[in-house]
Amino acid sequence: MNDDDHDHRLHWSARGATAFLGRALELAVENAAAGQLPFGALVVRDGQVLATGVNTSLRDHDPTAHAEVAAIRNACRDLQTLALPGATLVSSCEPCALCHAAAASAGILRVVYAAPKELAFAVLGAPQGPHAALLPEMQQALRTLVPEQVVHIPTEGARRPFDRFTTSMGRP
């Protein structure tokens, strides 16, 4: 990443991230209210929302139906392209390795998120299964390769989607 990219990332995050993160959180709350996992995402370029996505893994029985992947797919489909240069992926929660890889595959410059993965794990539980330990290692490897690409922006209300999910599922 050159100095111009770094300056653009800081400028973008300072000016516009709050409203876009708020919209990603709204999508996540709405998705949780519908009985789905509490995640929402947007693809933004030049201050315009290109597409949105929500997690439909439960409904579709698809472990890859993450909000970020859906937003990227929708943006690419709508623009009839495989690349989203200059775009930012805005997520309600810290993206997993799958979502980070999808963003990189689409040429997305940066990823910003509201809630850290620890919050998701506290509510939903950590990944389970025989390869569960591999997922955090993959995420860390990607972060090491491009340390400035994924940025946490603490956002008021970042817990709301998880609270709504807990209520929707009848949990205390």
CA distance 23 to 4: 27
CA distance 84 to 111: 13
Q: Which residues share a beta bridge with 51?
A: 43
Long-range contacts of 60-63 (CB under 8 A, 24+ apart): none
CA distance 155 to 28: 14
CA distance 149 to 143: 8
Q: Which residue of the set 26, 30, 68, 94 is catalytic?
A: 68
Sequence-distant (≥ 6) Cβ neighbours of residue 133 within 8 angstroms: none
Q: Is 68 in the active site?
A: yes
Residues acting as catalytic residues = 68
